[in-house]
Structure 1
Amino acid sequence: MTDWFRRVFWFTPLRKGLTVLLALAVVAGLAYGVHRVANPDLTCAEGVARPEADAECVGVSADGYAFGVTALKEVAGAIARENQGLTKGEYATVAVMLPITSTDSGMRTKVLHELQGAFLQQYAANHDSNEQVPKIRLVLANTGKGNHYWRTTVRQLKGMVDGPDNLRAVSGVATSSAETKDAVKELTGAGIPVIGTTITADDIANGPDGDPYPGLARVSPTNGDEARAIAQFGKVEAKRAVLVQDTRPGDHYTATLKKAFADLLADAPYEPQLFTSPPDPTDEGTTPNTFRQIALLLCGTRDADTVFFAGRHTQLRQFVNALGQRPCQHREFTVLTGDEGSYLGADDRLDKKALANKVSVRYASLAHPDAWKEPGAPRTGGSPAAYKVFTDLLEKAADPDIGPIGETSLRDGQAIIAYDAMATAVRGIREATVDKLPAIHDVVTQWPQLKGPLKVEGASGWICLDNHGNPYNKAVPIVELARDGSQRFVEIAWPEEKAPAQDCLPPGAS
């Protein structure tokens, strides 16, 4: 280094200035780094964010965001393309609210099938309804695993009622849990119409004793209706039946199902056999050991041959596995349960050998692809023609201009029932308007009118809502788990013993 350079750059004010600038740059960089650590970017996509660091992405998306679930990319993309063709101000938005980021394999399959069914109805409403208005925009609303972040998502939905979103209904809400009950309570309390797909708990419903959820409609029968339909189908003698029930608190599905079963078995000679599932009922827990003991106790009964099971699908699978290994292999047992049985067919942990060991599993399904096929379909309560409209749409979705919507299966009934829930939402929205876009409070008032000639001709059967938004005498397909694990349709049962009359009008002052 020359003396000149040292004098100019090292021993002059320039050196001091450069040093200050360098120090400022270092401080600014450190400050930015600290800010990024203290305030990380929690955005996932438009309308979607993490409520806190390391949380799931929750919120509402209309733009094809699949919430990191690979299996949903195709159907989410199809929904986004349909939405992009709509004009602002000329559509009503319907949200499908589900625990989209659930890690439970059964729930993930359910979510996929529900979104597929909802999209098929959105497409039909926008393209196959003789230019009826308003058009329908569909958005995906994720409440997180176990609906943990339902408050975040519901808060966002409440802010979407006015333009440009024009939210007019929320569908989905597919699990009968405490979180779902709270979410429905808040949505309906804010005047937002809700159409439940697979909520069946009797206490997440309105009724003659009051309407705690004003604006709630359901397309699935209650657990009470399911239980009556099963009893009518099975003609079970109470003296030969045992109730096996979950005691975990806060689960409205199991609580109302066991009450419905207990009412049917009021004269049973055997006390209920109890188990307690983990706080997260999709966890395996220690219940397999309890079920081994219950299977042994069943062998100790004199003549019991029927088990009414009030529990979730994970525990149902564990119980069936244990029953298949019971010591009294010479005795036959039939397990009867609610719609959670629909998960068993896709459960790779099910021991199919149990089904060959004189164990039958039959459940009340919400829908089944064979229920309305000719010949032999009931003359009322539904129709093969309405079901064919649905399957034709499913075939149409293979067109790359419409779909694809991902791998489909109808055996669990989820796509069918979600399609019907969206059909009910569309009917309510369009019946409430004389122009283009109805006021949201007018949609709420439509549910009691959807009966008789205004009934929804669903793919799962007729949806004739009573004055409290519950489906009257809805078809209940009874399904049997075959020895290979497939789900075999047996017959349609009815809560009121027989199919509804042609007018499909609930009797009395409901």
Structure 2
Amino acid sequence: MAGGGMGSWVREHVWEIPLRRYLSLALAAALVAGGVFGVRTAMREARQCAPGVSRPAGGSECLGVATGPYDFGQQQFHQVVDSIRQENSTLEAGSYVTVALMLPFTSSTPTDLNDIGHQLQGAYLAQYAANHDPTGQPPKIRLVLANSGTGKDSWKPTVDQLDRMTRSADRLRAVVGIGQSTDPNKEAVAALTKYHIPVVGSSITADDLANGRPGKDPDPYPGLARVAPTNTDEARALASFAKKNASKPVLVYDDPGDPYTNSLKRSLTSLLDISYDRQQSFARSDASTEFGNIVPTLCSTSQGTRTILFAGRHTQLQQFINALGGHNGCPGNSFQVLTGDEASYLTYDKNLDRDALGNNITLLYTSLAHPDAWAKNPPKTGGSTADYDILKGLLDNDKRRPIGPVALDDGQLIIGYDAMQLAVNGIHHSVPRGGKTPPLSAVGRAWSHVRGPLKVHGASGWICLDGHGNPYDKAVPIVRLNAKNGTQFVQLAWPQGRPPTENCPMT
């Protein structure tokens, strides 16, 4: 053969066969890898619910921080979410900081969704007020929604995302909301404050989800502030009311309970000196059955109007009221049930036996806020009609965008508005001289100055924080749940037994 003979030809073609095989295998591997990559990309896209929000593998909830308009599939949030979108769209790059409202937006419980929707409305109204303040105090406020989810650990990806947002162009400076005093929310707050993110709790009340506790670590949540009183303060206010309006009350409590129910039980037991023989416990998992056994005991010892203190969640409270006032209850006997702010969830609960409230049961509770608390002859300190009227003016302002149907008597819109107000106050008072954006660390330190002349004039009452971020001697409305619908304001009560001085808590 020409060129190199037979030997050359054999060498060339012997090597050509394995080379083709190697190329074929390489091509097949590339196609497989490309297919896997494509499948993974498609799966990620399928799990993405909206910008910043996705459904984890194997999960059913869309978790994360919605950096664009997203109502988490809840139609009742749609109008206010769209109004937040439009407000955010007016903000120029570099002119704003971000505040995240963190709540379980994917809850499927109607009573929870009512409260969440009302807090969302309140947060938007406070954002609108801050951005349209005639003083033009920088920075502007961008509001985003952070879903903590309903699972034990569903808050984790959301908190990690919030941490990243503190170092990005989002300039996250505070998280507000949080929700109920539960163990997962305790862990979420611990993680947020470990990341040095300032937190403003709207409706958390448990004593062990607060700073200023006696012990080795008095401030386990550095940078946490709260708008709502602690359970101990609520119990003090309730006890002052009960001492004037009840004699030898009986305590019905959740066992083993949770942070909210346990701190309420401890406080009521000590403040009202309730002996063991005047206590009845129930297990949450079998509450409806146990109430069937507790009610006859209460009936047999009832003489005249009997006062029952209830330390439990709203679901079990609804079951208890139904059992106490039902056909197998106590005909002819009257009961006054006193409990904490969880009762506000029953305001729109369709499963509650309203006829029971109309017959022999009066349900009174400590509300976080009420629209009538400052309407007539309010005290000279602790809050004012004028402060509440600012919120009322926002609700009546036809220049702002729609937020959907409004309900105020459960207090959640008011408390959501005040939590956002406190966050905005901390942000504005942390801006360095000549600057526009406050350092993250400065916002959390601002809580220690919210007192005296720097107190926040909340729609729920003055917000004066002690050195641990807890409201000092906060107004506590005692509210009655009506038989037909809505609530009725009864009177204001105070943890210290009287309203604070003008310079609360600087005396």
Normalised TM-score (structure 2): 0.89
- Does the C-alpha gap of structure 1 residues 132 and 237 become closer, same or farther in structure 2, counting only changes over 3 Å? closer
CA-CA distance at 1:241 after TM superposition: 0.9
Q: Which runs of 4+ in 1 moved over 6 A?
A: 27-30
Which deviations, in whole Å up to 9, do the C-alpha atoms of 1:67-114 show, x marking residues without a partner?
111111111111111111112222111100000000011110111001
CA-CA distance at 1:33 after TM superposition: 11
CA-CA distance at 1:376 after TM superposition: 1.3
Counterpart Cα distance in 2 of 1:239 and 1:385: 37
Given the alignment of the two structures, is residue 35 of structure 1 paired with residue 36 of structure 2, yes or no? no
- Does the C-alpha gap of structure 1 residues 80 and 72 become closer, same or farther in structure 2, counting only changes over 3 Å? same
Q: How does 1:132-147 map to 2 (within 5 A)?
A: 132-146=137-151
Which deviations, in whole Å up to 9, do the C-alpha atoms of 1:314-364 show, x marking residues without a partner?
110110111102543222111000001111120011111111221110000
SS for the counterpart of 1:74 is helix
Given the alignment of the two structures, is residue 426 of structure 1 paired with residue 433 of structure 2, yes or no? no
Given the alignment of the two structures, is residue 359 of structure 1 paired with residue 358 of structure 2, yes or no? no
Given the alignment of the two structures, is residue 334 of structure 1 paired with residue 336 of structure 2, yes or no? yes
The answer on whether the counterparts of 2:196 and 2:223 sit within 8 Å (CA) in structure 1 is yes
Q: 1:231 aligns with which of 218, 233, 239?
A: 239
Counterpart Cα distance in 1 of 2:250 and 2:314: 18
Given the alignment of the two structures, is residue 203 of structure 1 paired with residue 208 of structure 2, yes or no? yes
Counterpart Cα distance in 2 of 1:300 and 1:57: 50
- In structure 2, the gaps of 5 or more residues are 1-23
Counterpart Cα distance in 2 of 1:450 and 1:366: 19
- Does the C-alpha gap of structure 1 residues 491 and 302 become closer, same or farther in structure 2, counting only changes over 3 Å? closer
- Does the C-alpha gap of structure 1 residues 200 and 80 become closer, same or farther in structure 2, counting only changes over 3 Å? same
- Does the C-alpha gap of structure 1 residues 163 and 35 become closer, same or farther in structure 2, counting only changes over 3 Å? closer
Q: Which residue does the alignment assign to 1:477?
A: 477
Say what the alpha-carbon RMSD is for the aligned residues: 2.2
Q: 2:372 aligns with which of 363, 370, 373?
A: 370
Counterpart Cα distance in 1 of 2:247 and 2:382: 32
Q: Which residue does the alignment assign to 1:445?
A: 445
The answer on whether the counterparts of 1:64 and 1:73 sit within 8 Å (CA) in structure 2 is no
Q: 1:256 aligns with which of 263, 276, 301?
A: 263
- Does the C-alpha gap of structure 1 residues 271 and 96 become closer, same or farther in structure 2, counting only changes over 3 Å? same
Given the alignment of the two structures, is residue 270 of structure 1 paired with residue 280 of structure 2, yes or no? no
- Does the C-alpha gap of structure 1 residues 255 and 408 become closer, same or farther in structure 2, counting only changes over 3 Å? same
The answer on whether the counterparts of 1:62 and 1:79 sit within 8 Å (CA) in structure 2 is no
- Does the C-alpha gap of structure 1 residues 331 and 468 become closer, same or farther in structure 2, counting only changes over 3 Å? same
- In structure 1, the gaps of 5 or more residues are 1-19, 279-285
- Does the C-alpha gap of structure 1 residues 29 and 500 become closer, same or farther in structure 2, counting only changes over 3 Å? closer
Counterpart Cα distance in 1 of 2:169 and 2:473: 39
SS for the counterpart of 1:207 is coil
For residue 180 of structure 1, what is the amino acid of its counterpart? Answer: N
SS for the counterpart of 1:203 is coil
Identity, % of aligned positions: 48
Which deviations, in whole Å up to 9, do the C-alpha atoms of 1:276-326 show, x marking residues without a partner?
113xxxxxxx42221121111101226481111011111101101111025
Counterpart Cα distance in 2 of 1:180 and 1:107: 15
Q: How does 1:97-496 map to 2 (within 5 A)?
A: 97-146=102-151, 148-207=153-212, 209=214, 210-235=218-243, 240-249=248-257, 251-268=258-275, 270-278=277-285, 286-301=286-301, 303=303, 305-325=306-326, 326-373=328-375, 375-396=376-397, 398-399=398-399, 402-433=400-431, 434=433, 435-496=435-496
CA-CA distance at 1:234 after TM superposition: 2.4
The answer on whether the counterparts of 1:317 and 1:344 sit within 8 Å (CA) in structure 2 is yes
- Does the C-alpha gap of structure 1 residues 306 and 43 become closer, same or farther in structure 2, counting only changes over 3 Å? same
CA-CA distance at 1:217 after TM superposition: 0.3
Given the alignment of the two structures, is residue 69 of structure 1 paired with residue 74 of structure 2, yes or no? yes
SS for the counterpart of 1:111 is helix
CA-CA distance at 1:147 after TM superposition: 6.1
